Chains A and B, each alone.
Chain A
């Protein structure tokens, strides 16, 4: 079989930006339309499996360049169908679902925000406020690494727990301040204690500037202890409706 790579879905006839470069040997990105919905597709390298750095970057670049111009449902990497099955397997059976989702996301883009503590500042604060930390530091000092292993684990655990308590408060503050500038917010608790916030915001295209300005202002107010990283505008990765 020959395979076709699928980047995402758009409304039929949507204006696509120029300069899209796909991950296939031809680099081509085109659309296959069916009854109001269109798949963004391209060729697939036939001499190697997918999954290189360049493949991932190309998929993201195509989807997010399109997202900057029009509403797109991004496929999870990697999505491949047989050449002659784009309509029969993908578009026709799921047409209504795709159109509903495109309609619900019309005029909206995603921003992803991550915030991480400036570690030195937070650790300093915790060392000053948690008496147990100073005690353990004293015990570890000058002791060989192997001998202090359990004390070091314990010390780190106290610091990590203290950090988690602080971040619950700080994450809420961030979301309360930025949330009102978005239509929808999806946030998760980060795995690492010094990661404060990981959230995706669905923002109206015409309010994107305002949203970015608010994030910048927040960054200015908190930069001494919080590093913010903002991605976007992106395709609505976090807001794609789950399968029916």
Chain B
């Protein structure tokens, strides 16, 4: 019995670790997209995108004033949906 419960606790710990690294991976990917659409397309890469015209200005200007905000929204909802699913998969969701 004692053996079984330590084994069980060990398993939960493993699952917790796997859950956390899956979470970190998701955060990392999301933050790359976050930075690319704001600091990237909106500021630093704007000169490279200036050939793509969007209504009187260029794609970089559109990202700085509209696009980045839309991407931020999509990212948060994607992360919430994905994480809430991950919680259940790893059995760490709230009962």
Check if A and B associate: no
Residue ranges of A at the interface with B (Cβ–Cβ < 8 Å): none
Residue ranges of B at the interface with A (Cβ–Cβ < 8 Å): none
